[in-house]
Amino acid sequence: MIDRAAAQPASLADGTRPLPGGWYALALVGAAQVVSMLDRNILAILAPAIKADLGIGDAEMGLLYGTVFALFYALFSLPLGRLADGWIRTRLLSVSIFFWSLSTAAAAFAGGFLLLALSRLGVGIGEASAQPAGTSLLYDYFPKRRRGLVMAVFASAIALGLGGSLMLGGFAADWWNARHAASGAPLGLAGWQFAFLVAAMPGFAIAALMWRLREPERGAIDGIVSPPDPAPFRASINILTAVTPGANWITLARARAGAGAWTLNLGILAAILTGAWALIGWAEAFSPRPPLKIGGAAVSPHLLQWSVVGFGVFVVANLLQTLRRTDRPAFAVIGASPSVLMCVGVGACQSVISYGVMGFTPSFLMASYGLSPSAVGLQFGILAVVLGVAGPLIAGPLSDRVSRGSPRGRVWVTLFALGVSPLLAPWVYAASDAASFYLRFSLYSLVLTMWLPPLYAVLYDLVLPRMRGMTVSFYFVVQTIFGLGIGPYAVGMVSDARGGDLAGAIVAVNLVAPVSVALLIALLLRVGRDQEAMVARARAAGEPI
């Protein structure tokens, strides 16, 4: 690698302006994130109609919404993140957006559980590259001092997609049903099927525009230019094989790994199986649930839940072991950096809270205040969009201003958000009426959503440019497994155990917050040293910088 900082134009070297086309790239990648969240979450508002038409229950819907998506998203995020580090990111994003949009559209023709599951599988695989490739691309358009704003747009796009899915899904389905109630729907499509088609359409246009977007030189804006990757697809396939449980042993055998590597891998697997067995037993005693009927077999939902989480944890362990063996600089910068691991830990803990809160608050509103699904979809959807955009857009530029080149300022903003918001939760969910709830929730959500941009900006500045795709994948795999995989499950389990007390269950999930606060305090003490030592750590591990 060559240090080209001195060769950059003054506007780039002093970190004040993005590359030409940067704002357009930010808008396009942001639009892709909106569509990603829209296609991911639209299932939530369409669930009642799908259950009625296809004769499936809440358990199957839970599998579609969380388990199936999380499993394949986690597995494919890592190889696609590696591909984002070596191939043309605009091409990768274009192909991925087209694929997940096609998978979303396929759900419109589902006549049973199987095609819906295949659709969700496809959405999970396609969206696995959105965050790694999108973040890596934008970090090569924008200088370090503007990256809080970049991450604010990312976070705002997530809110737009999540809130928009409630509004668009409900409106499209109702409009189609009302328009064709008497005459019969074209192609025999129900309202929920038409909603999937509507949700899929914007992705095809964005995919075409993304294909034509200019690919910036990787790392040039940071003065750390990466040489071309000679075989990015082979490296991506190798990562997929190396992290997939079962196939990872083939990789170890081919690499002629020593006894120590085998002992470590099998020891980790044994620990995961032991932990999962203990958690299944605890969950069965704490909140007994009837078995699910899957393919004629009766399966405990707790067994299914902790099997998926265990699968994800083993995937992450395989990734770190593979990096240590095949890419020691990446392991030294990602897997052996205390600050990177603390950032990932904070994101995982907070995602448990966020997914748990957002997954059950609509049900809480309907059950506690007698609101209709359409009213909740409109009111809560709009509120989620407005607050989910406002919080990050405040926090991102604020963290840019207070950081002044130091990551500690960004950590302070994150600590404020995650330290204050859990204290507001009991007050919010004790509101006596819907109007009071919305007023209190506005303050709570505004503070809560401020954590995303500064933490992301800290995390992605702790690694080299060629490692950003893998870092994003690593982060989102952990976040998805723990956040989406545990958050809603934990709230639902506590609610069932307490006789349907959703308010108490939602408040209880905030008990994870002290772990986040402790990690952030430790991060304050460590992050400056780890950022300064990043290049030296990589060079010592063999990186040609």
* pLDDT value at residue 384: 81
Tens-place pLDDT, residues 357-401: 877 787 788 888 988 767 777 888 888 888 888 888 898 888 888
Per-residue pLDDT band for 45 (boundaries 50, 70, 90) equals: confident
Asked if residue 5 belongs to a domain, the reply is: no
Residues in CB range of 419: below 8 A, 6 or more apart: 513, 517, 520
Task: Kindly calculate the radius of gyration of the chain based on its CA atoms and give it in whole angstroms.
Answer: 23
Q: Looking at the structure, do residues 452 and 478 belong to the same domain, yes or no?
A: yes
Asked if residue 6 belongs to a domain, the reply is: no
Q: Looking at the structure, do residues 521 and 470 belong to the same domain, yes or no?
A: yes
* pLDDT value at residue 202: 95
Asked if residue 11 belongs to a domain, the reply is: no
Angle between helix 69-84 and helix 130-139 axes, rounded to 10 deg:
30
Per-residue pLDDT band for 442 (boundaries 50, 70, 90) equals: very high
Q: Nearest-CA neighbor of 222 among 121, 147, 332, 305? A: 147
* pLDDT value at residue 181: 59
Residues in CB range of 474: below 8 A, 6 or more apart: 78, 81, 316, 319, 334, 344
Which of 292, 326, 360 delimits the end of a domain? 326
Averaging pLDDT over each range in 48-57, 156-165, 189-198, which range is the top one? 189-198
Q: Is the pLDDT of residue 2 over 60?
A: no
* pLDDT value at residue 6: 37
How far is the C-alpha of 412 from the C-alpha of 455, rounded, in Å?
10
* pLDDT value at residue 293: 66
Q: Looking at the structure, do residues 345 and 264 belong to the same domain, yes or no?
A: no
Residue type, position 182, single letter: A
Q: Looking at the structure, do residues 435 and 476 belong to the same domain, yes or no?
A: yes
Q: What angle do CA 295, 245, 289 make, to 5 degrees?
A: 40
Per-residue pLDDT band for 267 (boundaries 50, 70, 90) equals: very high
Place of tokens 């941009």: 453
Tens-place pLDDT, residues 55-80: 776 656 766 777 778 778 878 888 99
* pLDDT value at residue 185: 59
Which of 269, 304, 326 delimits the end of a domain? 326
* pLDDT value at residue 424: 95
Asked if residue 236 belongs to a domain, the reply is: no
* pLDDT value at residue 461: 86
* pLDDT value at residue 405: 67
Q: 141 or 377: whose pLDDT is higher?
A: 141
**pTM for the full model?**
0.79
Tens-place pLDDT, residues 255-265: 898 999 999 99
Q: Residue 109 is part of a domain; what is its CATH number?
A: 1.20.1250.20
Q: Nearest-CA neighbor of 455 among 476, 430, 439, 438? A: 476
Q: Is the pLDDT of residue 4 over 50?
A: no
Tens-place pLDDT, residues 186-214: 667 888 899 999 999 999 999 999 999 99
Q: Looking at the structure, do residues 361 and 493 belong to the same domain, yes or no?
A: yes
Q: Exposed, middle or buried, 140 (CB in 10 Å: 0-12/13-18/19+)?
A: buried
Q: Is the pLDDT of residue 436 over 60?
A: yes
Q: Looking at the structure, do residues 447 and 499 belong to the same domain, yes or no?
A: yes
Asked if residue 332 belongs to a domain, the reply is: no
Q: Looking at the structure, do residues 255 and 399 belong to the same domain, yes or no?
A: no
Per-residue pLDDT band for 106 (boundaries 50, 70, 90) equals: very high
Q: What is the mean pLDDT of the chain?
A: 86
As a whole number, mean pLDDT of residues 479-502 equals: 81
Residue type, position 117, single letter: A
3-class state of residue 297 by DSSP:
strand
Residue 249 Cα distances to 244, 266, 335, 523, angstroms: 9, 10, 21, 35
Q: Looking at the structure, do residues 252 and 315 belong to the same domain, yes or no?
A: yes
Domain count, the chain: 3
Per-residue pLDDT band for 31 (boundaries 50, 70, 90) equals: very high
Two structure tokens written together for 81: 């993140």
Asked if residue 261 belongs to a domain, the reply is: yes
As a whole number, mean pLDDT of residues 77-89 equals: 90
Q: Is the pLDDT of residue 12 over 70?
A: no
Q: Is the pLDDT of residue 30 over 90?
A: yes
* pLDDT value at residue 14: 47
Which of 265, 293, 326 delimits the end of a domain? 326
Residue 255, domain extent:
242-326
Q: Looking at the structure, do residues 141 and 177 belong to the same domain, yes or no?
A: yes
Asked whether the beta carbons of 307 and 279 are under 8 A apart, the reply is no
Output the furthest CA–CA distance in the chain (Å, rounded). 72
Q: Looking at the structure, do residues 293 and 355 belong to the same domain, yes or no?
A: no
Q: Which helix (H) or strand (E) holds 294?
A: strand 292-294
Q: Looking at the structure, do residues 397 and 446 belong to the same domain, yes or no?
A: yes
As a whole number, mean pLDDT of residues 408-428 equals: 93
* pLDDT value at residue 16: 64
Place of tokens 């796009």: 157
Please give the full DSSP string across 410-466, using - where no structure is assigned.
HHHHHHHHHHHHHHHHHHHTT-SSHHHHHHHHHHHHHHHGGGHHHHHHHHHTSS-GG
Q: What angle do CA 242, 83, 155 make, to 5 degrees?
A: 110
Q: Looking at the structure, do residues 476 and 498 belong to the same domain, yes or no?
A: yes
Q: 185 or 332: whose pLDDT is higher?
A: 332
